[in-house]
Amino acid sequence: MLAGGGALAVGAAFASRRGVLGLLAGTGDLEVARFAAMGTYLELSLPAGAGAAVGKAVGAVSALERKLSVFLPDSELSGLNASASRARVAVSSELQRVLDESRRIHGLTDGAFDPTVGPLMSSWGFRQGRPTRLPGREALRASLERTGLKRVDSAASGVAFDAEGLGLDFGGIAKGYGADRAAEALRASGLSGLVNAGGDLRSVGAQPNGEPWKVGVRNPVRTGELLASVELAPDQAVATSGTYEQRYEVEGRQVTHILDPRSGGPVDGVVSATVVAATAIEADALSTAACVLGADAALRLCSSLPGVEALVVARDGGKYRVDATSGLKARMLGRV
Distance between CA atoms of 230 and 276, rounded to whole angstroms?
9
Q: How far apart are CA 35 and CA 106, in angstroms?
A: 31
pLDDT (tens digit per residue) in 66-108: 999 998 999 999 999 999 999 999 999 999 999 999 999 999 9
Task: Give Cα 225 distance to the centre of its chain.
Answer: 22
Report helix angle 76-83 to 93-108, nearest 10.
70
How high is the pLDDT of residue 4? 30
3-state class (DSSP) for residue 141: helix
Q: What pLDDT is stored for residue 334 in this prediction?
A: 61
Select the CATH number that applies to the domain covering 71-161 from these four: 3.40.30.10, 1.20.140.10, 3.40.50.2300, 1.10.3980.10.
Answer: 1.10.3980.10
* pLDDT score at 223: 79
| Banded pLDDT at 3 (limits 50, 70, 90) | very low
Question: Residue ranges per domain, the chain?
Answer: 71-161, 212-335
Which residues are CB-contacts of 297 (< 8 A; sequence separation ≥ 6)? none
Lowest model confidence (mean pLDDT) among 15-29, 62-76, 181-195, 226-240: 15-29
CA 166 → CA 75, 138, 159, 227, 309, distances in Å? 17, 17, 12, 39, 33
Q: How far apart are CA 322 and CA 116, in angstroms?
A: 30
Q: Same topology for domains 71-161 and 212-335, yes or no?
A: no
Q: What pTM was estimated for this model as a whole?
A: 0.88
pLDDT of residue 242: 84
In angstroms and rounded to an integer, the radius of gyration of the C-alpha atoms of the chain is 19
The answer to whether residues 113 and 99 touch, using CB atoms and an 8 Å cutoff, is: no
> Quick one: average pLDDT of 108-123?
92
Mention every residue, 6+ apart, whose C-beta is less than 8 A from residue 179. 42, 195, 196, 197, 200, 201, 202, 237, 280, 281, 284
pLDDT at 11: 26
Give the Cα separation of 122 and 107 in Å (integer): 24
Q: Write down the pLDDT at residue 192.
A: 93
Residue 267, CB-side half-sphere exposure with 13 Å CA sphere: 26
For residue 159, what pLDDT band results from cuts at 50, 70 and 90? Answer: very high
Query: Among 7-16, 123-132, 187-196, 297-306, which is the least confidently predicted range?
Result: 7-16
Q: Which CATH architecture describes the domain 212-335?
A: Roll (3.10)
* Band (196; pLDDT cuts 50, 70, 90): very high
Distance between first and last Cα of the chain: 38
